[in-house]
Amino acid sequence: MRDKKMAVKGGKMSKVFKEEFYRAPGVKFSPMGAVPCGAGMIPSSLRPPASQGSRRERGFLRRRWTVKYLVIMAMGLPLLLYSYNPGQPLPPGAVEVETWYWDGTQWVSQGTGDSAALARLWRSDPEQGSCNKEQWVIPVTVHTSVAQWIEWYTSATRVDWRIRKPGVYASDVVTTTVASSNDVIVDYEGFENLYSPEAVNPEIQTYYAVGDSVENVQWMEAVQINNDDVLLMNSPELCGGMTWTLWNRLDVSECNSSAEYEDEATITLVLQNIKIWIDPASGLFASGKHSVKSIPRDRVVRDYWP
């Protein structure tokens, strides 16, 4: 199996991909080049399983060309240039009480103990006093921990070309919008040339690019995008939603026999500030309200910046 990570020298982000992401309308990105996500940033337990053996040995196992968005809210993936606050444990003896939310027309009770509640509240540190002194100061602290959220939309998770003759063809295959309340990493994995074991030339030369029109993009080979992960910076633009378009180009040769060619890949969105009270797998309230999760040091990335 080819080593896709060697496609970009030194693992650095390609200049073409970097420029095209900056050029995409309404999108502000900070590129990450020194350490790709595959080199320790996203735990292997959270990644989709890798296929074994060569393409020919695997046979035609790729049944669809699809981009599956794995919204993984993995904890403890900070940049050294940023300090993500994971939140605080509740004070000892904290007691949960009922909360309500406004649905636009009325107040709706959320009860207590519901891991799917939108918000929950605990009271703690009661005090009392009795005496004849003139003045009593009663401290009141209202502390709120707000979790990172994400909303995303993609225009397609599968595209199907129908090509009659050899030639060079391009189209905007996937348009994606991401909105979030803190940094989000966009991790590309598994992009390769389209493949068919039935063909004289089993691979169709495949390229990708980001941009707003077919005349305004610079193409890169498919495997290069796997090293060109991107950091969406926390900003007013990200809160309102950032949108970009991924273009696909196929160079179909005379020896690309009449056959079915496919490739499967993933685009993983990774939230960077998961609170200690959020279950990173479900996004709901975690069980054990006082538990504090530490950040493994081997998952702290050295330097992303060019």
Q: Which residue has the higher pLDDT, 247 or 18?
A: 247
Average pLDDT over residues 73-89: 61
Q: Quick one: pLDDT at residue 63?
A: 36
Does residue 37 sit within a domain? yes
- Domain assignment present for residue 107? The answer is no
Q: If you average pLDDT over every residue of the chain, what do you get?
A: 77
Find the domain containing 22 and state its range. 4-43+56-83+149-299
The percentage of the chain sitting over the pLDDT mark of 70, rounded to a whole number, equals 67
Per-residue pLDDT at 14 exceeds 80: no
- Any idea which of 11-20, 139-148, 281-290 has the lowest mean pLDDT? 11-20
> Which of 176, 172, 173 lies closest to 154, judged by CA?
176
133 occurs within a structural domain: no
Residue 273 pLDDT > 90: yes
Q: Is pLDDT of 269 > 60?
A: yes
Confidence band of 82 (pLDDT split at 50, 70, 90): low
Number of domains making up the chain: 1
Residue 93 is assigned to a structural domain of this protein: no
Q: What pLDDT digit, counting tens, does each position of 183-240 carry?
A: 999 999 999 999 999 999 999 999 999 999 999 999 999 999 998 889 999 999 999 9
Residue 302, pLDDT > 50, answer no
pLDDT tops 60 at residue 4: no
In a domain, 91, yes or no: no
pLDDT of residue 288: 63
Tell whether 137 is covered by a domain. no
pLDDT for residue 306:
23
Q: Give the length of the chain.
A: 306
Its pTM stands at 0.70
Contact 85, 283 (CB under 8 A): no
Q: Mean pLDDT over residues 153-182, rounded?
A: 97
Residue 173 lies in a domain: yes
Asked if residue 142 is part of any domain, the answer here is no
pLDDT above 90 covers a percentage of the chain that reads 64
pLDDT for 147 beyond 50:
yes
| Average pLDDT of the residues in 168-197 | 97
* 104/43: higher pLDDT: 104
